[in-house]
Structure 1
Amino acid sequence: MGRISKNITRLIISLMFLSILSACATTSNNTATLPGKAIPEQQDRSAINQLGKGDFDRMADVEVRENSESLRLLMLKLYKRNPRELQKSTSDSAEKMVDWVFDGEAQHHYQFEGVNNRLGADAIFLAFKADYTGDRVLAFIIGLQTMLLKAHGGKTDFYLNDNIDPQHMYNLARNIEIAAWKLSNARDETGTLFLLSNEINDKDKNLSFEREFGKMIGRTDLFAIGLAEKSQRLISRVVQSLATAVFLPF
């Protein structure tokens, strides 16, 4: 049985690698790209550093990095579709704003007065609050990014002594689904979407937002399954209607 379990684990790891590589290779004419950062590159790691990592630690590095990169792309795309939101935060370009948010963590620690210093689900709810006058794109992305980090114990670099809870990964995937649904459906009292994302009409068909969220959900779910198999832990699966769903805790 032990040999079978190890073989299953190796198979899951291989499938996870193939899934992520496939997602990174997918392109679309409707997809905005970040200058020079279309495909994120793994930072150079010393041989000594790698000795402290197992297969799942390296997978965790890849999963959290790729999901952060997806959020980075989504933020840029949302600003392109909703330029009025960018103007609430800065007169700089959308690219510069995105770089500041994701590359400046050491300075701002994801604490922004413009979103009332809210994080996680609280920030996402703020993005769709009728009386909120701030940058809804910033609130939405900060909420998802800090939720992603919290699910990983606040870390982006993992080693053998780290322990990621597969239930947290499963809950994160469900929370991404809920956030994506809110983005596509939340409207104000006049019936206008708070934020424009996907678009389907007689002239245009842009589902690139939906595809990017799908990549994030797929990566996270597959990683959750792999972690559960590795640790022989069961995942409590929750069934909710997206229209009334609540964000799951970590």
Structure 2
Amino acid sequence: MARVSPAITTKIRRHCLLLAGLSIFFVTGCSQQQGGDIIDQMREGKPQEFLQTSVDRMATLTMRDNLDSLYLLMSKLYLRNPDELKKSGFLDARTAGKQVRMAIELQQPLPTLGGKKDLAALRFAMSPEFLGDRVGAFIYAVGSMLVTAHGNRLEFYMTDTINPVFVSNAARNIEIATWILSQRQNKEGQPLLFSNEISEEGSNLSFAVEFGKIVARLDLLTQMLDERYRRIGLNYAQSLLFLNFLPVQ
């Protein structure tokens, strides 16, 4: 067998030690960087987020984004329907919208709807008999329907339960409301509210697009909730199959 000279052996050891040192340096550096990123994220987060699972956080963000979409649609509807703003009794759309927003988020009735909310309010707001600010009433009805479908909450934590069936139903109701918005007319054959427009001058489908975003978010949340409760049921079934006790703390 050929012998390796001591000089070569020493050189190989030095290279190995150098590579090992560099590996430890890079791993330590990456770990410190990742740890720093995690700490920064924790500092930016709110304390109550520690009481939320990933699905709870997703549901909270979904509600926030969907309500923001509704408020954007409300601004667009006021621009397309200035007569409705006059009916609101406010001088500008921002003030009128603020009242609707507060009513939705504080779960208070809108005076023009006579105490009605969610589906009952939606039917009344889009009926020819309604004579008040139809834009504010329509957005309030849809917003209160979303809140009702999520168990009358805007934020969600580990102790909360969201029924995926109701969330899915809310998505279908949004689709129906979108159709009503584009098709419902008064006695003169004019739309109750002007929204999407397709004409020789061009097309404006921004309302349908924004409603589509709301539906997509609700459908995604429904799938996440279904999987969450499916896993809970599966874990329970596995515990029975393998005679495993379920944790109590």
Consecutive unaligned residues in structure 2, runs of 5 or more: 1-43, 232-249
User: 1:62-211 maps to which residues of 2 (within 5 A)?
Assistant: 62-103=61-102, 109-211=107-209
Structure 2 letter corresponding to 1:157: E
Give how far 1:105 is off: 5.6
Q: Residues 197 and 203 of structure 2 are in contact (CA less than 8 Å); yes or no, is this contact kept in structure 1?
A: yes
Q: Among the aligned pairs, what percent are the same residue?
A: 39
Aligned twin of 2:236: none
Q: Residues 115 and 138 of structure 1 are in contact (CA less than 8 Å); yes or no, is this contact kept in structure 2?
A: no
1:46 aligns with 2:46: yes
Q: Take 1:58 and 1:115, find their aligned partners in 2: how far apart are those partners? A: 32
Runs of 4+ in structure 1 off by over 4 angstroms are: none
Give how far 1:99 is off: 2.1
Q: Residues 171 and 215 of structure 2 are in contact (CA less than 8 Å); yes or no, is this contact kept in structure 1?
A: yes
- Which has the larger Rg? 2
> Residues 185 and 221 of structure 1: is their aligned pair in 2 closer, same or farther, counting only changes over 3 Å?
same
Higher relative contact order (CA 8 A, sep 6+): 1
Give how far 1:103 is off: 3.8
Give how far 1:90 is off: 1.9
Matched residues, number:
188
> Residues 100 and 139 of structure 1: is their aligned pair in 2 closer, same or farther, counting only changes over 3 Å?
closer
Q: Residues 104 and 140 of structure 2 are in contact (CA less than 8 Å); yes or no, is this contact kept in structure 1?
A: no
Give how far 1:124 is off: 1.2
Task: Please give the secondary structure, in 2, of the residue aligned with 1:232.
Answer: helix
Q: Which has the larger share of helix?
A: 2
Pairing partner for 1:225 from 219, 223, 247: 223
Consecutive unaligned residues in structure 1, runs of 5 or more: 1-43, 234-250
> Residues 170 and 213 of structure 1: is their aligned pair in 2 closer, same or farther, counting only changes over 3 Å?
same
The TM-score with structure 2 as length reference comes to 0.71
Task: Please give the secondary structure, in 2, of the residue aligned with 1:169.
Answer: helix
Q: Residues 113 and 137 of structure 2 are in contact (CA less than 8 Å); yes or no, is this contact kept in structure 1?
A: yes
1:50-74 per-position Cα deviation (integer Å, ceiling 9, x unaligned): 2211100100110000000011111
The TM-score with structure 1 as length reference comes to 0.71
Q: Residues 126 and 136 of structure 1 are in contact (CA less than 8 Å); yes or no, is this contact kept in structure 2?
A: no
Give how far 1:45 is off: 4.2
Aligned twin of 2:26: none
> Residues 192 and 214 of structure 1: is their aligned pair in 2 closer, same or farther, counting only changes over 3 Å?
same
1:107-150 per-position Cα deviation (integer Å, ceiling 9, x unaligned): x7431221222111111111222222111112211110100100
